[in-house]
């Protein structure tokens, strides 16, 4: 890998994460959703692995080793949000606020449980991709170099 | 305290607490909850601690207390004998508690789907418990047999439930009982549910798994036979009985199977030498009584069945624990090697005498009343059933008498070692309960009466008592005792009959059929599997070939000539056509090229070309996801290529010359599946109309869901459950990658 690639990879990581976050934030009114945001983060991490090697990528981005936890939290969170409705006797994936009800806005972002669900999907997708990349980049002992 | 010594007592505490809670709940009445967790599918989580639920829940927890206490002393010795570490107890206790929980849940469940799930949960728990000694082949085989027979049976129950749902639109038993008529569908569903329950309760001809299940450690046998697994079958029959009794056919089936089980189980029990085998065959016979009573039907029979289950559970668990204690003390497990144990083990002898007397229906025990009610119900049914009832009771008297007298009377063969008190205290406790029931039957009768009201579907009056008035029941009781005593004493008459039956059963019995069919199934499955995974192409062909053929059949049968429309090419379509041509070229390259990297690159070209088409036809969401996924897929492809051994990597794709027979295979498979897909896409695009269907509705509803992007709203809201399923698959895929590459290490 040339130095140029490595420098670009390092510089691109932050913007890629910002793009991903932007996709989720505006996902509900515009193109993009948790799945594509998670994939973008996965690609950004993959670029780090390609450019800097597993060891350096994982020491540079300390959070990576939390990916298995992230996947589990994402899955449980998504199930939790999805089935929240049955506690009040409603079918699963009944999102709050209900149709017609008033939506809480933070700037242009509209808060709803559907967006929270999307966030958990994002977490899971990003984590799963990071886990797969990590495993592909790690060689177990006895494997031919 | 160490963990493996705390576990049993935690389990006992669980059972005791649950017992107390069930008792209080039953006395309070009206303990129920009902959650509609998937209303669009009419699925409900519906539990109620009604009479029947209370009866079986109290049995599961009460017998559970005794059995778990016994297990606390038994299991450490069992593990030490097999030289297994004591920490393996953690493979035992959680399953025991799950067994109990599943049984309590099943007792209270009132929705057919919930019943099915819990029914299978007891089977799964029993699988791990029967196969607890997993290093022994026989134990594993027995566990698998129990799981297969009861599990396949349970599928019949599911089919029955779906049949009922199709006809009446509900899985809820209460509503079904209200709506069901005596029509054909109800009869078929009733037979299917009954078959599942009969397999579970080890009734002829599906009884053979139960004696084999004796490979389990003794506490498991004691629990499985009295209050859990086997009891689950008659529990469900008792629960759905108001449905079953709509059809005479189902009742007759129950009656025939029950009587056959009584006789076969009883005769085989007489032939057994091994303690646990004798008791296992006795269980087949005893549940035969209950099934017979359900077959008779009506108020008296329902009450008798409920009381019978209580008395049998108490007696049978005590007898199993007796057998285990004797084997622990002497190291022997056969009647022919044992005898004269009454003097060295007086407490155990007395307690198990009470248990045996309960089963043989002697007065002063709870057992007397079970037979009194049984005879009353049988007498009302008519001559044949009444005679069979006497024969049944005589058989029970004979085999249980043989069990006790051969164990505890006669010449003493050996000096038993001292055993921990916890190995006979539970037996004494259960014997005390049975004696208490013999003196004051009131509370037991009240419980049985409550349960019978559910089974009968109406009010039931139950008055068991010592009626000594020379009535039919008295005469039948005396006749049964006399006949039983005669059977017990006349060894010469008994032996040829019972041993002959046992031999015959071994040679042509249903167990042989089971073994043969399992063998054939295994051979067939091995052949298909070997063919499918022989190489990668076969694996792929196994998916795309049947898919192509099915699509072909579907198109040939449904579509007419005007479905094939070529359409017009407009100016705006030219970029799309160019991209498609590129995709076709890339596809041909991927199929023909021999270099690894070129194949991956052309495959990603196919993907990116399609993404560009999505973007051109105005599907930005799909295009975005497609581009991202194509990038990930290409990267993963290269990462996998990098892991290939260096020689393979540099040599390119080596294509072995195909055998002549197989030379045509790849083109044929490719052509069939490819043409089918081509025809499918063509036909569906020819008929593409923007129907005012789902898509239109979802677009209209999107603003209501506070969204602007239809695709995202569909993913997160309208079709949220699908998304949840998909991300679950993604998680499983990650685990699969971890398993293949790193032997399951997650990081």
Stretch B577-581: mean pLDDT, rounded? 93
pLDDT beyond 80 at B240: yes
Name every chain B residue with its beta carbon within 8 A of the beta carbon of A99.
701, 704-706
Whether residues B716 and A34 touch (CB distance < 8 A) is answered with yes
Average pLDDT taken over every residue of chain B:
86
pLDDT of residue B27: 87
Q: What is the distance of C-alpha B78 from the center of its chain?
A: 27
- Domain positions in chain B: 268-515, 538-655+663-688, 690-747
pLDDT at A31 over 90: no
pLDDT of residue B1: 44
- Within B617-656, residue ranges assigned H as helices are 620-642, 646-651
Select from A28, A93, A134 the Cβ nearest to the Cβ of B721. A93
Shortest CA gap A23–chain B (Å): 11
**What average pLDDT does the segment B336-346 reach?**
85
Instruction: Inform me whether the pLDDT recorded for A145 exceeds 50.
Output: no
- Asked if residue A142 belongs to a domain, the reply is no
Q: What is the CA radius of gyration of chain A?
A: 18
Domain hosting A128: range is 3-137
Domain annotation covers residue A61:
yes
A144 domain residue, yes or no: no
Report pLDDT for B562: 66
Model ipTM? Answer: 0.90
Helix (H, G, I), strand (E, B) or coil at B272: coil
pTM confidence score: 0.76
The predicted-structure confidence for B435-463, as pLDDT tens digits, reads as follows 998 888 888 988 888 888 888 888 888 88
Q: Using an 8 Å CB-CB cutoff, list chain B residues near A42.
A: 632
For residue B286, what pLDDT is reported?
92
Number of domains chain A contains: 1
The answer to whether residue A42 is domain-embedded is: yes
Does the distance separating the beta carbons of A125 and B730 come in below 8 Å? yes
Q: Are the Cβ atoms of B632 and A118 closer than 8 angstroms? A: no
Residue B550: pLDDT band with limits 50, 70, 90? very high
Q: Rounded CA gap, A95 and A116, in Å?
A: 10
φ, ψ at B111 (rounded to 5°): -125, 130
pLDDT at B128: 92
Is A91 in Cβ contact with B40 (below 8 Å)?
yes
The rounded Cα B34 to chain-centroid distance in angstroms is 23
Exposed e or buried b per residue across A46-72, where buried means at least 16 C-beta atoms within 10 angstroms of its C-beta? bbbbbbbebeebbeebeebeebbebbe
| Predicted pLDDT of residue B690 | 55
Name which of A91, A117, A128 is nearest B731 (Cβ-Cβ).
A128
Separation CA B503–CA B495 (nearest Å) = 12
Identify the pLDDT of residue B169.
Answer: 84
Average pLDDT of B3-8?
74
- Which residue of chain B has the CA closest to A118? B716
């Amino acid at each position: 890998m040339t130095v140029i690639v490595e420098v670009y990879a390092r510089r691109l990581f932050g913007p890629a994460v910002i793009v991903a976050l932007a996709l989720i934030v505006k996902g509900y009114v515009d193109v993009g959703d948790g799945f594509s945001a998670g994939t973008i983060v996965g690609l950004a991490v993959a670029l780090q692995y390609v450019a800097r090697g597993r060891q350096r990528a994982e020491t540079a981005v300390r959070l990576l080793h939390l990916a298995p936890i992230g996947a589990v939290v994402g899955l449980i969170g998504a199930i939790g949000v999805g089935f929240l409705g049955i506690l009040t006797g409603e079918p699963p994936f009944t999102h709050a606020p209900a149709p017609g009800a008033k939506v809480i806005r933070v700037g242009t972002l509209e808060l709803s449980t559907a967006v929270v669900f999307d966030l958990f999907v994002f977490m899971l997708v990003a984590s799963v991709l990071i886990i797969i990349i990590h495993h592909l980049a790690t060689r177990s002992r006895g494997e031919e170099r | 305290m160490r963990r493996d010594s705390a576990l049993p007592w935690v389990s006992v505490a669980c059972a005791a607490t649950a017992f107390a809670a069930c008792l209080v709940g039953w006395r309070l009445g009206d303990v129920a909850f009902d959650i509609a967790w998937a209303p669009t599918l009419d699925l409900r989580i519906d539990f109620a601690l009604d009479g029947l639920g209370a009866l079986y829940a109290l049995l599961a927890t009460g017998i559970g207390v005794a059995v778990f206490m016994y297990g606390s002393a038994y299991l450490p010795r069992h593990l030490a004998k097999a030289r297994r570490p004591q920490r393996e107890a953690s493979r035992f206790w959680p399953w025991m508690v799950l067994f109990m929980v599943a049984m309590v849940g099943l007792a209270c469940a009132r929705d057919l789907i919930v019943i099915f799930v819990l029914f299978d949960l007891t089977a799964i728990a029993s699988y791990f418990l029967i196969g607890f000694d997993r290093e022994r082949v026989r134990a594993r085989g027995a566990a698998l047999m129990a799981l297969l027979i009861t599990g396949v049976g349970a599928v019949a129950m599911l089919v029955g439930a779906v049949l009922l749902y199709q006809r009446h639109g509900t899985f809820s038993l209460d509503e079904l009982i209200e709506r069901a008529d005596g029509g054909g569908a109800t009869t078929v569903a009733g037979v299917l549910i009954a078959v599942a329950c009969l397999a579970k309760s080890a009734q002829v001809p599906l009884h053979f798994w139960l004696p084999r299940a004796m490979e389990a450690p003794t506490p498991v046998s004691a629990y499985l036979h009295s209050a859990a697994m086997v009891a689950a079958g008659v529990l469900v029959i008792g629960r759905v009985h108001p449905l079953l009794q709509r059809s005479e056919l189902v009742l007759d089936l129950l009656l025939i199977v029950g009587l056959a089980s009584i006789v076969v189980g009883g005769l085989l029990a007489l032939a057994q030498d091994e303690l646990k085998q004798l008791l296992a065959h006795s269980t087949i016979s005893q549940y035969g009584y209950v099934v017979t009573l359900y077959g008779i039907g009506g108020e008296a029979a329902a009450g008798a069945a409920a009381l019978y289950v209580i008395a049998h559970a108490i007696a049978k668990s005590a007898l199993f624990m007796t057998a285990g204690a004797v084997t622990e003390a002497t190291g022997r497990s056969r009647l022919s090697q044992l005898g004269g144990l009454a003097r060295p083990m007086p407490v155990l002898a007395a307690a198990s005498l009470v248990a045996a007397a309960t089963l043989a229906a002697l007065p002063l025990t709870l057992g007397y009343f079970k037979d009194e009610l049984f005879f009353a119900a049988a007498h009302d049914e008519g001559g044949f059933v009444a005679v069979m009832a006497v024969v049944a009771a005589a058989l029970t008297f004979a085999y249980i008498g043989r069990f006790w007298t051969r164990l505890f009377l006669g010449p003493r063969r050996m000096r038993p070692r001292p055993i921990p008190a916890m190995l006979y205290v539970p037996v004494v406790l259960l014997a005390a309960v049975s004696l208490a029931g013999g003196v004051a039957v009131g509370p037991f009768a009240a419980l049985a009466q409550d349960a019978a009201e559910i089974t009968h579907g109406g009010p039931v009056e139950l008055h068991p008592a010592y009626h000594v008035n020379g009535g039919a029941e008295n005469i039948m009781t005396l006749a049964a005792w006399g006949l039983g005593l005669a059977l017990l004493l006349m060894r010469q008459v008994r032996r040829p009959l019972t041993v002959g039956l046992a031999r015959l059963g071994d040679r042509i019995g249903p167990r042989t059929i089971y073994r043969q069919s399992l063998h054939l199934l295994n051979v067939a499955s091995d052949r298909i599997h070997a063919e499918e995974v022989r190489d990668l192409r076969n694996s792929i062909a196994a998916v795309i070939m049947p898919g192509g053929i099915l699509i072909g059949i579907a198109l040939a049968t449904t579509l007419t000539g005007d479905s094939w429309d070529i359409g017009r090419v407009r100016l705006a379509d030219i970029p799309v056509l160019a991209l498609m041509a590129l995709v076709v070229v890339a596809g041909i390259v991927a199929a023909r090229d021999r270099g690894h990297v070129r194949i991956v690159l052309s495959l990603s070209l196919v993907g990116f070309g399609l993404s560009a088409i999505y973007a051109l036809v105005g599907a930005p969401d799909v295009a975005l996801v497609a581009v991202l996924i194509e990038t990930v897929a290409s990267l993963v492809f290269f990462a996998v290529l990098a892991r290939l051994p260096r020689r393979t990597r540099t040599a390119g794709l080596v294509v072995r010359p195909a055998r002549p027979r197989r030379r045509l295979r790849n083109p044929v498979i490719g052509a069939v599946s490819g043409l089918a897909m081509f025809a499918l896409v063509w036909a569906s695009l020819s008929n593409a109309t923007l129907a005012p269907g789902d898509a239109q509705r979802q677009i209209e509803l999107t603003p209501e869901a506070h969204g602007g992007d239809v695709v995202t709203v569909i993913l997160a809201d309208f079709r949220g459950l699908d998304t949840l399923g998909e991300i679950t698959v993604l998680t499983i895929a990650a685990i699969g990658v971890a398993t293949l590459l790193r032997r399951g290490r997650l990081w």
